[in-house]
Structure 1
Amino acid sequence: MITLLRGDLTQWRRIRTRMPTSQAVAAAADARAAGDWRTAAALADTVVDVDLDDVRDRFGTEAAAAIAEDLRHLALDLLLWHLPRHHGGMTTLRARTSAVLAPQAVDHGTPLLRVRLPLSPTGPQRLRLTVATLADLNDHRWYVAPRHTWDIRETAAIRAAWCCSADRSPLLAPDGTPLPWSALGTGDDAAAATERVYLLLAAGEHTAAWRACGIELPFTDTKALHRDPATPTCPVGLAAEIRAAAATFTERPRFPAERVDTLFGAHLNISVGDGLVAAESDPHDYNEGPPQVASGPIPADLALLHAGLSTPDDLHPLLRSALFPTLPPARHRGDHRSATDLRSPTTGVVGPPGRELPAESAVGEPGAPVRVRCRGEWHIVGVRDGALRLHNHDANELRREQALRVMGGASAGCFAVRDTWLTGAGRLPKALAAQRTRVRERLLDGDTDWLLDGLARGVVDPLMRDGSGWSLRHMAMWVDHPRLLPLLDAAGLPVDARDRIGRTPLYVAVMNGGDIALIRALLDAGADPYAETVHGASAIRVAGDHARRDDRASLDRLWRDRRTAADR
């Protein structure tokens, strides 16, 4: 029944299994306790672009002190739990969006901490922490991240935001076990009242649910209140959040009325006046404008707990202690590692930690042998010594197969699997496809050490391709590329390797917000900025349209330097 309120629990279960490990969270907490907020941010895979001296020069000592105080208590590993994701089963962060960390008070010139999400859903999933003003946010899509989603001093406020009772959270007993559907909404406590709103949403009574949460709706068409029938927008706690944002952002130069975040598909204008919160249906798509308050379905973690797909011990420790204050401390898997232990052994730079994956992910363990139906028999293939090996075929058979391909023949059985593995075109056995997915996801998580270990042990093939034809060089933007690229060069992977529609690693890096250092490294290795896809696009043509505004100047200089060098 919980799927009536959240139809995306499978997606969110996958998202939760790919959050920072308990060791990384503990290391970040140790770094914050020691006053090292930069290391804590790096452990949450965040690039820090904050210069406190510059903030002091631009905005004054008092403003810089307020920013510094928030940075000391900023838990980006907790904010990751609350950031919006793409719909449709994806685990990546919502692209081209910023979370503005709610300040105590703000005017047009007040400096704000801004967390910029990735440029693309298939780009590097690193966050970027910057300082901005309201004027800087014009024409950007952003929302206010409440303090309980990132400030370790105020995490307990999530109980009020999610309308929990003194002893339990909605949908759950005090110990975090799920309540039966028939028991929801009974009683006069806050959690029961919240459950009654959930039941109204599940029954399709959206207008009644919003009014029960203190938001007046002067219309009867409820299309604006839900993205689709399975995932209605939840108004619980929204009125209080809107009032708080309205009180904080009192001198915004644009959009004086608060707006529900169109990231979640609810096209509404929400206004505050004389204590009354009212919503008006808005048929226009405001994705290009900056929404101020986020509202989505019911919290994913409550739904996962109620569905039995997670336990309180699976939550971020700060979230767990806020929602279940009477539970004993959680016991996490693995040994505790400090921030020093999580540094790269070769560079000393804190990098993204490996993820704790569910036991069933062992099915996709790279290097495991896989059965393939070939010539009426079951054969074995698997990655060994850095390449996909066809264990039931000798060198002579491989040469005959290559000659057959030269003459235009089609591959079958083990040889067809090998072709798909090296090009991305075609179908793989499920177990081998799972290995390919495992490699891609670990790279998308930024786990350089895991990849390098697999390459060193020969269980990851440096010439493999994913289903789109992306090579490891295409995926280098997700990891510590200075450590990976030399290994790909040694393996003979071309610098301009093309995917199934002709995109090169350089094109992909430019389109998806890859680091300028990676783009420079690819150009130094001979990448062609004019190489065209099947649609006629090239890296140099799309740079101005798809790069972040603050990266465009660097790219322009890079292209100019290359042209100058070529003319000499």
Structure 2
Amino acid sequence: MITLLRGDLAQWRRIRTRMPTPQAVAAAADARAAGDWRTAAALADTDVDLDLDDVRHRFGTEAAAAIDEDLHHLALDLLLWHLPRHHGGMTTLRARTSAVLAPRAVDHGTPLLRVRLPLSPTGPQRLLLTVATLADLNWMRNRWYVAPRQTWDVRETAALRAAWGCSADRPPLLAPDGTPLPWSALGTGDDAAAATERVYLMLAAGDYAAAWRACGIELPFTDTKALQRGSGPPTCPVGLADEIRAVAATFTERPRFPAERVDTLFGAHLNVSVGDELVAAESDPHDYNEGPPTVASGPVPADLALLHAGLMTPGDLHPLLRAALFPTLPPALPGAGVPSVREPVPESAVGEPGAPVRVRCRGEWHLVGVRDGALRLHGHDADELRREQALRVMGGASAGCFAVRDTWLTGAGRLPKALAAQRTRVRERMLDGDTDWLLDGLARGVVDPLMRDGSGWSLRHMAMWVDHPRLLPLLDAAGLPVDARDRIGRTPLYVALMNGGDIALIRALVAAGADPYAQTVHGASAIEEATYRSSRGDRALLNQLWDDHRAAAGR
């Protein structure tokens, strides 16, 4: 029944297993306690582009002191739990979006802490912490929303109980010890959690308008039409009215909530009443924010739904989130909780790299597997391999083990499920930024440096996710071309530019001979993408790329 409120629990379970490790969370807490907020940020995979002396020079001593105070209480490892994710089953963060950390008060010249999410859902999954003003945010033309303080300020995490409609001792859907309540028991009682559960039941029944009115939000219609498009779970209005009032008071202007939550039947704009406040909603989810701040809103919190479905326990939560939701439970031990991103599930469950896999070939079962750094066909001798190569030269089609090898090296075709799981394993560990794991697998010969994923991406395409200075020399030694093409002709240089790869990787690829004019099957090229990024503010990139290309060509 919980899937009536959240039909994406499988995606969110995968997201939760890929959060920072318990050790990283504990280390970040220790760093904050010691006043070292930069180390705490680094442990949450966040780059910092922020100079307090510059803030003091531009905005004054008082503004710099306020920023410094918030930085010392900023838990980016907790904010990660609340950041929006890409739709469609992916575990990556929503692209081209920024979270503005809710300030105490603001005008158009007030410096704001801004956490910028990745440029692309398939790009490096690192955050960027900067300072911006409202004028900067409007000029940058990126989506942004106001992140409530309970989602990032360690002094105010207990406020999450009210924001999520919890009682003093338990959250909705759950008993005080985290035990899921049966569906038939929801909404009974007069405590805050029971009142929230009644709203949940209205949402599950499709009575959206009544649910919103129960939360103090008046709508300009009387029937029970959906308040969002059919592809997403119902928006939960619990706590939304209070958040709207808080944002309106802080920014001294009328806020709005995300466009994708509103049915297009209501036209370009929909005004709803929250007490004496009006809230605007845009009907185009791809609109950029220009002026009015967007209020954080969404479906029933994924963590509550996961706990109710038995897919998580309170011990799996971030310690600060656990303390907020379950105040009567004993405090979590240091380093406890938070499923490890490095070992989300046993290796055998998703494919241990190098493990032999059975393949049906010529009416028999053969074994294939990565050994000594390459996919080996254990059921075929050297003469058979030479005959197969001659067949391919004459235009023949491969089958059995040889078809599997072709797919492994190109990405085109189907792999046995276990081998596909090994390929996914490598890709996900790289996306997590786990360079040590990857280099260990390459050193042991259980990761093939010439493998491709289903899109035809090579390890060079994926180098933007890891510590590329350590990886690229190994790929060079393995003979992987610098302009290796994926299935639609994209080179590693093009992919890095498209997905927000850092300038050091881009320069390394160009220095190695990457062609910025190489075109995809659609006629796009790296030089065009660099020009586009230059027009969006990264003005030094195009000149740097061009200078590096000329220098490499002159050698």
For the superposition of Structure 1 and Structure 2, which TM-score range results when normalised by the shorter chain?
over 0.9
Which region of structure 1 is more displaced relative to structure 2, 323-332 or 84-93?
323-332
Cα offset, 1:536, TM superposition: 0.7
Equivalent residue runs for 1:514-529 within 5 Å? 514-529=501-516
Relative to structure 1, is the Cα distance of residues 37 and 333 closer, same or farther in structure 2, using a 3 angstrom cutoff? closer
- Within the candidate set 245, 256, 261, 1:259 is matched to 256
Q: Does structure 2 retain, via aligned residues, the 8 Å contact 1:164–1:190?
A: yes
User: Which residue of structure 2 aligns with residue 342 of structure 1?
Assistant: none
Offset from partner CA, 1:179-203 (integer Å, 9 cap, x none): 0000000000000000000000000
**TM-score with structure 2 length normalisation?**
0.94
Relative to structure 1, is the Cα distance of residues 264 and 401 closer, same or farther in structure 2, using a 3 angstrom cutoff? farther
Q: Secondary structure at the match of 2:99?
A: strand
Offset from partner CA, 1:315-366 (integer Å, 9 cap, x none): 1111011111221234688999xxxxxxxxxxxxxxxx95231237644111
Aligned counterparts of 1:539 and 1:221: Cα–Cα separation in 2: 51
User: Which residue of structure 1 aligns with residue 150 of structure 2?
Assistant: 148
Q: Does structure 1 retain, via aligned residues, the 8 Å contact 2:217–2:273?
A: no
Relative to structure 1, is the Cα distance of residues 265 and 508 closer, same or farther in structure 2, using a 3 angstrom cutoff? farther
Cα offset, 1:47, TM superposition: 0.8
Equivalent residue runs for 1:380-391 within 5 Å? 380-391=367-378
**Structure 2 portions without partners, runs of 5+:** none
User: Which residue of structure 2 aligns with residue 501 of structure 1?
Assistant: 488
1:365 aligns with 2:362: no
1:205 aligns with 2:192: no
1:437 aligns with 2:424: yes
Aligned counterparts of 1:192 and 1:451: Cα–Cα separation in 2: 48
Equivalent residue runs for 1:72-221 within 5 Å? 72-138=72-138, 139-220=141-222
What is the aligned-residue RMSD (CA, Å)?
2.2
1:486 aligns with 2:488: no
- Give the letter for the 1:258 counterpart: P
Relative to structure 1, is the Cα distance of residues 272 and 218 closer, same or farther in structure 2, using a 3 angstrom cutoff? closer
Relative to structure 1, is the Cα distance of residues 543 and 230 closer, same or farther in structure 2, using a 3 angstrom cutoff? closer
**TM-score with structure 1 length normalisation?**
0.92
- Give the letter for the 1:452 counterpart: L
**Structure 1 portions without partners, runs of 5+:** 251-255, 337-352
Offset from partner CA, 1:377-409 (integer Å, 9 cap, x none): 111111111111111111111111111110111
1:512 aligns with 2:509: no
Cα offset, 1:146, TM superposition: 0.4
Q: Secondary structure at the match of 2:541?
A: helix
1:414 aligns with 2:401: yes
Relative to structure 1, is the Cα distance of residues 153 and 333 closer, same or farther in structure 2, using a 3 angstrom cutoff? closer
Which region of structure 1 is more displaced relative to structure 2, 55-64 or 229-238?
229-238
- Give the letter for the 2:442 counterpart: L
Offset from partner CA, 1:275-319 (integer Å, 9 cap, x none): 434456654456223551121100000000001111001111110
User: Which residue of structure 1 aligns with residue 65 of structure 2?
Assistant: 65
Counting aligned pairs with the same residue, the percent is 82
- Give the letter for the 1:433 counterpart: A
Offset from partner CA, 1:121-169 (integer Å, 9 cap, x none): 1111111100000000003210000011011111111001001001110
Aligned counterparts of 2:296 and 2:362: Cα–Cα separation in 1: 57
- Give the letter for the 2:472 counterpart: L
Equivalent residue runs for 1:237-252 within 5 Å? 237-250=239-252
User: Which residue of structure 2 aligns with residue 344 of structure 1?
Assistant: none
Aligned counterparts of 2:407 and 2:61: Cα–Cα separation in 1: 60
Q: Secondary structure at the match of 1:381?
A: strand
Relative to structure 1, is the Cα distance of residues 539 and 82 closer, same or farther in structure 2, using a 3 angstrom cutoff? same
Q: Secondary structure at the match of 1:389?
A: strand
Q: Does structure 2 retain, via aligned residues, the 8 Å contact 1:239–1:277?
A: no
Cα offset, 1:558, TM superposition: 2.7
Aligned counterparts of 1:547 and 1:170: Cα–Cα separation in 2: 48
Relative to structure 1, is the Cα distance of residues 223 and 114 closer, same or farther in structure 2, using a 3 angstrom cutoff? farther
Relative to structure 1, is the Cα distance of residues 6 and 527 closer, same or farther in structure 2, using a 3 angstrom cutoff? same
Aligned counterparts of 1:148 and 1:547: Cα–Cα separation in 2: 36
Cα offset, 1:521, TM superposition: 0.4
Aligned counterparts of 1:443 and 1:263: Cα–Cα separation in 2: 31
- Give the letter for the 1:416 counterpart: A
Aligned counterparts of 2:17 and 2:541: Cα–Cα separation in 1: 36
Q: Secondary structure at the match of 1:169?
A: coil
Relative to structure 1, is the Cα distance of residues 487 and 237 closer, same or farther in structure 2, using a 3 angstrom cutoff? same
Aligned counterparts of 1:280 and 1:64: Cα–Cα separation in 2: 32
Cα offset, 1:269, TM superposition: 4.5
Q: Does structure 1 retain, via aligned residues, the 8 Å contact 2:22–2:337?
A: no
Q: Secondary structure at the match of 2:369?
A: strand
Cα offset, 1:100, TM superposition: 0.2
Q: Does structure 2 retain, via aligned residues, the 8 Å contact 1:111–1:132?
A: yes
Relative to structure 1, is the Cα distance of residues 548 and 36 closer, same or farther in structure 2, using a 3 angstrom cutoff? farther
Aligned counterparts of 1:474 and 1:222: Cα–Cα separation in 2: 48
Relative to structure 1, is the Cα distance of residues 561 and 414 closer, same or farther in structure 2, using a 3 angstrom cutoff? closer
Q: Secondary structure at the match of 2:538?
A: helix
Q: Does structure 1 retain, via aligned residues, the 8 Å contact 2:218–2:272?
A: no
Relative to structure 1, is the Cα distance of residues 537 and 284 closer, same or farther in structure 2, using a 3 angstrom cutoff? closer
- Give the letter for the 1:389 counterpart: R
Aligned counterparts of 1:73 and 1:509: Cα–Cα separation in 2: 34
Aligned counterparts of 2:348 and 2:95: Cα–Cα separation in 1: 27
- Give the letter for the 1:225 counterpart: L
- Give the letter for the 1:534 counterpart: V
- Within the candidate set 235, 238, 252, 1:236 is matched to 238
Relative to structure 1, is the Cα distance of residues 460 and 333 closer, same or farther in structure 2, using a 3 angstrom cutoff? farther
Cα offset, 1:552, TM superposition: 3.5
Cα offset, 1:449, TM superposition: 1.0
Offset from partner CA, 1:64-118 (integer Å, 9 cap, x none): 1111111111111110000000111011100000000001111110000000001
Aligned counterparts of 1:498 and 1:490: Cα–Cα separation in 2: 18
Aligned counterparts of 1:480 and 1:303: Cα–Cα separation in 2: 36
Equivalent residue runs for 1:265-414 within 5 Å? 269=270, 275-278=275-278, 282-285=282-285, 287-290=287-290, 291-330=293-332, 355-359=342-346, 362-414=349-401
